[in-house]
Structure 1
């Protein structure tokens, strides 16, 4: 049951402002605690609020990127909560009205749990069924209503010199990526979608210019952030195979030609930018990276 609750968190933003993150953690904890204490209807209420938080995020981003037009201005995803629940569902595009009605049905179940009916209507198996139903709804909404705006945001981020050129950075790649993830409300599922379908021509080109090399380094840093976050935060299996960083590392060395810049040293840049990722890594993986790159990473063993 715990795994089901963490599944929906993979669709919610990885990073939120502190107050909003506390709220999501509160709902997660409430759902888990009520499951453990066998207060299953209360567990569903908290889970349903996580489900609605996902819908708020979806509508907020669709509105932000001009895919739908909402009447009011919304500054955060939780401002959408001021909207009537029926309007929230009705604004989910790409679906037949019958399917929208199916999505809405879990609101009735939530109401059954929240209103004082005088009896306990749902037991564990019932609540598990409806939680799985909401996760199924989220999966359908995530991928059928998926727009190119997020892929374009990733591509624009990777191609922005202010993000990829270490000489212009005031921080490491990882801090830039975390800020990008926060500002764009990116979830683990969003990261997985992009990493499976990057559609970035620079990744298949030879590493023979600083620009191409830097873009590849930044892309690898996104993979590193994904791996670190999933391994640190989630108890369920990631949807992308483990070792994605090492699997993709050869693209960096593909056709590598050292740029005509006396100050350019790929090994030093790599060790500097990826030090926090490499430090906790086991020796076996460090050796694999050395074999692929021919870098001396003895400091990380």
Structure 2
């Protein structure tokens, strides 16, 4: 069951509000408690909610990085919901959209209809599990482990598709924050923590994309030396065991 905790690497390192962090911690606790008591069906429900949180954070990054594309993707939504999503201040606002429908925002990062259909199938399975239908779909740890492996495959696939969004976000950060005299925090580590990771709900896997960013694409910009130093600070402070 240790594999299940790989999902944490895809969830934000920092949250905008204590309530958001408390919610994620609550779901992890629910997953662990139900697993330890062999209540695997309820453990699956908690894990599914963590997975949907991952999806919401990814869609939020799309919204922030590609606002025009995001707005165009809402064609067909009613005007009240469209306004609510445009004005949203938290990724969890996406709960207002049907979970199967919210997956269509992933088209903006290159997920095709067949992939989105497979992601939506996980939602249907959650619905079947949550309904009072007399069935216990996950009665053994082995059954839950098989499902978690499938979920993590989907999560990894979505993360791969999000690379361009994260790179766009990081490029903008480097260009706008390299000068210590003009940014919010003189110390590079503080600027990275607050204005990159915290503001954008970056996960460790997102940061891995940032670390691999091709700095040579910025070599013609003024301040390239400071950009390199800012990037080096990120690498030094957030390098994971996988890097």
Instruction: Report the equivalent of 2:180.
Output: 165
- Counterpart of 1:224 (choices 210, 216, 236) is 236
- Counterpart of 1:101 (choices 104, 110, 117) is 117
Instruction: Report the equivalent of 2:39.
Output: 39
Q: After TM superposition, which residue ranges in structure 1, 4 or more long, deviate above 3 angstroms?
A: 166-171, 202-205, 210-213
Aligned-pair CA distance for 1:169: 6.5
**What is the CA–CA distance in structure 2 between the aligned matches of 1:176 and 1:95, rounded to whole Å?**
32
Aligned-pair CA distance for 1:170: 4.5
| Pair 1:125-2:124 in alignment | no
**What is the CA–CA distance in structure 1 between the aligned matches of 2:197 and 2:114, rounded to whole Å?**
34
Per-residue Cα deviation, 1:272-297 (whole angstroms, up to 9, x for no partner): xxxxxxxxxxxxxxxxxxxxxxxxxx
Aligned-pair CA distance for 1:145: 4.5
Q: Which has the larger radius of gyration?
A: 1
Q: Secondary structure at the match of 2:163?
A: coil
Aligned-pair CA distance for 1:202: 7.9
| Pair 1:184-2:196 in alignment | no
Q: TM-score, normalization: structure 2?
A: 0.81
Per-residue Cα deviation, 1:183-221 (whole angstroms, up to 9, x for no partner): 11211111111212x11128889xxxx944432221111
Q: 1:166 to 1:36 in 2, by over 3 A?
A: farther
**What is the CA–CA distance in structure 2 between the aligned matches of 1:178 and 1:3, rounded to whole Å?**
27
Using the TM superposition, name which of 124-133 and 68-77 deviates more. Answer: 68-77
Equivalent residue runs for 1:1-301 within 5 Å: 1-4=1-4, 6-16=5-15, 17-64=17-64, 65-66=66-67, 67-69=69-71, 70=74, 71-72=82-83, 73=86, 74-93=88-107, 94-122=110-138, 123-147=140-164, 149-160=165-176, 162-165=177-180, 170-179=185-194, 180-196=196-212, 198-201=213-216, 211-227=223-239, 230=240, 238-240=241-243
Aligned-pair CA distance for 1:128: 1.2
Aligned-pair CA distance for 1:119: 4.1
**What is the CA–CA distance in structure 2 between the aligned matches of 1:190 and 1:146, rounded to whole Å?**
8
Aligned-pair CA distance for 1:225: 2.5
Instruction: Report the equivalent of 1:287.
Output: none
**What is the CA–CA distance in structure 1 between the aligned matches of 2:61 and 2:183, rounded to whole Å?**
29
Q: Secondary structure at the match of 1:68?
A: helix
Q: 1:211 to 1:90 in 2, by over 3 A?
A: closer
Q: 1:168 to 1:125 in 2, by over 3 A?
A: closer
Aligned-pair CA distance for 1:140: 1.2
**What is the CA–CA distance in structure 1 between the aligned matches of 2:90 and 2:149, rounded to whole Å?**
27
Instruction: Report the equivalent of 1:235.
Output: none
2:183–2:191: 8 Å Cα contact kept in structure 1?
no
Residues paired across the two proteins, number: 223
Per-residue Cα deviation, 1:218-244 (whole angstroms, up to 9, x for no partner): 1111012313xx5xxxxxxx431xxxx
2:163–2:209: 8 Å Cα contact kept in structure 1?
no
Aligned-pair CA distance for 1:144: 2.6
